Structures are given as C-alpha cells and as structure tokens.
Structure 1
Amino acid sequence: MTEYKLVVVGGGGVGKSALTIQLIQNHFVDEYDPTIEDSYRKQVIIDQETCLLDILDTAGQEEYSAMRDQYMRTGEGFLCVYAITSRSSFEEITAFREQILRVKDADAVPIMICGNKCDLESERQVSAAEGEELAKSFTVPFLETSAKTRVNVEEAFFQLVREIRRMKKDDSAGGKPAGKKKKCLIL
C-alpha cells in the first residue's frame, strides 16, 4: 500500500486542524486550540488505489516557524490553506510556497491551494477568482473548502495525492527529475 506524506500549512486560525480532523474523524471542531504539531493517519481509496495518508497538521503561528524547514523536508505534498475571510492569510501563501521550494531545492513540488471557510460568504475578503489566479500563477490546483460544512474537504486532500502521483510519474517517465534544480559548480 502506498503511503503519502501530506503536510497542511498556512497562517494561524485558517482552519488547518479543522480540515484535517473533518477528513480523519468526520466532524467539525469549532473551538480554536492552536496546534504545535499533530500527526494523523487514514487509509483511503483514491482512484481505485488503496493508500495511507500520513497527514502532518502544523502550527500557523509565527513563533513555531523554526520547525517548518524540518517538516517541509519530509513532506511529499503540501496543502496550503488560507481563510477566505482573511486577506493577510491569503497573502502568506506565497511565502509558504517559496519556503517549501527553497527547503526542497526544487522548482516544482506537489501543492494544493485551499481557500477555507467558504461557508462564511458574508465575511469574504478574498474572491474565488483571486485564489484561482494565484494557483494558476503557481501552476497548482485550487479549491475553496469548508471544514464546517465538509465542502471539498476530501477532494482537496485527494487532489493533492493526485498531484504527487502525477509528479512521480513525470519523474519516472525519464528525462530530468521534475522540479529538481541543477547545481552550479564554479572551479
């Protein structure tokens, strides 16, 4: 059975834990308890393949940012989450992506962008079009999700697994490994 190491990243309070717990335990947690780091495992079937998701739910708070390099090194795919009700959390996505690429020393890494809390339409600060535009500029998939109403929760994680599979397939199809940067040596 294939195991996929997924990492959920994003600013504080965007709903990373709520999305993860909704996927794993099928319920919505509405009290806010900032995460330092939690790990979850779930066996699922994605496109007729049984696989094990190993999901690392990370801290959004800046005071835990020193831990990021470590989990970014071990993760295979990244769910980058912002809240549609928070413009600043949306603006943080670019920095998360840049850090992932730097730590992985790659031009491309399996990433899925999620605009969470889409059930809070009246408090929206980031349009769906802006989310789509950002994802398009990074050439990664995008979905709006709601951990509360379970909208696109499974789909977001499953789509990320498909991205990992696609990039692995591209790697094994010959040629240069997709994403790995060439080293420059000056003698």
Structure 2
Amino acid sequence: MLNYKIILMGSGGVGKSALTQRFISGNFVEAYDPTIEDCYQKTININDETCKLEILDTAGTEQFSSMRDVYIKSGDAFVIVYSINSTSTFNDISSIIEQINSIKDSDPAPIIIVGNKSDLDDEREVDEELGQTLAKSTHSSFIEASAKLNSNVNEIFYDLLRQLANKRKSMQPPRNSFSPKSSVVYPRDPSPKQNYQKSPQNVHNDSNGIKKKSLCDKCTKSCTII
C-alpha cells in the first residue's frame, strides 16, 4: 500500500475544509468554522494501486503562517486553494508556492492550484485564465472546483495521485538497465617456460664397429648408443 500526505493551504475562508469534507465524506458543510489543523485519512484505489491518503487541512489565518514550514516539510503533495470571488486570496497563492518550491528544492512536490467556489461565477473577481497562467508559470496543475456542487472535487486529489505515481516511476531504474561486466584479466604465469632439448647421444664404436651403450658426458645415466 502506498502512503501519501497531502497538505491543503491557502487563505482563510476559501473553502479548504469544505473541499476536504466533500472528498472524505461526500458532505458539504455550509457554515464557516476557522480551522487550526484537521487531519483526515482515506484509502482509495487508482490505476490498480491502493493508496492511503493522509490529508492535512491547515489554518489559513496569518497567525498560524509560522507553521507553514513544518507542514511543507512533511507533505508529499499540495493543494493550494483560493476563492474565485476574492482577488486577495488569489494574490496569496504565489508566495505559498514559492515557499514550497524553496523548501522542496531537492525533492520537488506535485502542486495543484484550485479556484474554489466556481458556483459563484456571478461574483467572480478572478478570471480562470489568470489561474491557468499562474499554474503554468509555477509548473503546477490547475482546476476550478465547487465544494458546494461537488464539482471537480475528486479530480483534485486524483490529479495529485497521478503526479505522485509518475514521480515514483521516474525515480525507478529501467527494467533492462544493467551495469557492464568488467573484463577479466588473467595474470601471466610468472615462471618462464623451460625449453626441453634432447641430450646429445654419444655414439661409441668398439674396435669391431659394434654400437655399445656408454655414459653421456652430460649425465650419469646409461644412454643407448645409436
């Protein structure tokens, strides 16, 4: 089972808790209750893999911004939320992404920018094109969603899981990779080869011309006289 920690960040009141609750339980909470820190867990199957998600819904108020470093260091992927009917919440996005990229410099983490409350299109202050442009410039994903209408909520988390899967695969060595075998050099025989030569054979003739055996000059053995 794969385990991932996903962190939701953004200004207060943009709907981070509403998105999380909708994804976890399918319910929509209308009332706004400022979050300090809430943690949820959910197990899902995607691409024939079982993933256990730990989702951390963080505080959006300025007084808890000092905790961001801690959240970022512990996260595997990030959901950065703004509200389409609030330009100020959109303007807060860039600094959060810069902070994530700075801390995760050696191990880049997937990020998705979410323009929440797409159901309030008649109150829109942030055009969708602005969100797309910011995402492109920060190498992030982008989507508009509505926790109230349950629009694109699941897609937020599935997008991050696909990015995490691609990241994991890119870090694995190819199946056919191999290290070349080092050539083996056998040491030469240090002892010099001996040249074997036949000892000269002495020919001895007696007075009657008969060949006889005699001792070689170079050895003490009896040699056959030829």
TM-score scaled to structure 2, two decimals?
0.74
The offset of 1:171, in angstroms, is: 2.7
Mapped to 1, the partners of 2:98 and 2:47 lie a distance apart of 30
The offset of 1:163, in angstroms, is: 1.4
The aligned residue for residue 32 of structure 2 is 32
Please tell me whether Structure 1 or Structure 2 has the larger radius of gyration of its CA atoms. 2
Tell me the secondary structure at the aligned position of residue 73 of structure 1: helix
Over 3 Å counting, the alpha-carbon distance change for 1:86 and 1:106 in structure 2 is farther
The offset of 1:129, in angstroms, is: 1.0
The aligned residue for residue 10 of structure 2 is 10
The aligned residue for residue 67 of structure 1 is 67
Cα RMSD of the aligned pairs, angstroms, is: 1.4
C-alpha distance after superposition, 1:78-129 (max 9, x if no partner): 0011111111111111111011112223473210111000000111011111
The aligned residue for residue 95 of structure 2 is 95
Tell me the secondary structure at the aligned position of residue 130 of structure 2: helix
Equivalent pairs counted in the alignment come to 174
Mapped to 2, the partners of 1:56 and 1:91 lie a distance apart of 22
- Segment of structure 1 superposing worse, 68-77 or 165-174: 165-174
Over 3 Å counting, the alpha-carbon distance change for 1:127 and 1:44 in structure 2 is same
Over 3 Å counting, the alpha-carbon distance change for 1:107 and 1:136 in structure 2 is farther
2:163 is equivalent to residue 155 of structure 1: no
The aligned residue for residue 82 of structure 1 is 82
Structure 2: segments with no counterpart, 5+ residues: 175-226
Q: Give the number of the structure whose residues are more often helix, by fraction.
A: 1
The offset of 1:159, in angstroms, is: 0.3
The aligned residue for residue 140 of structure 1 is 140
Structure 1: segments with no counterpart, 5+ residues: 175-187
TM-score scaled to structure 1, two decimals?
0.89
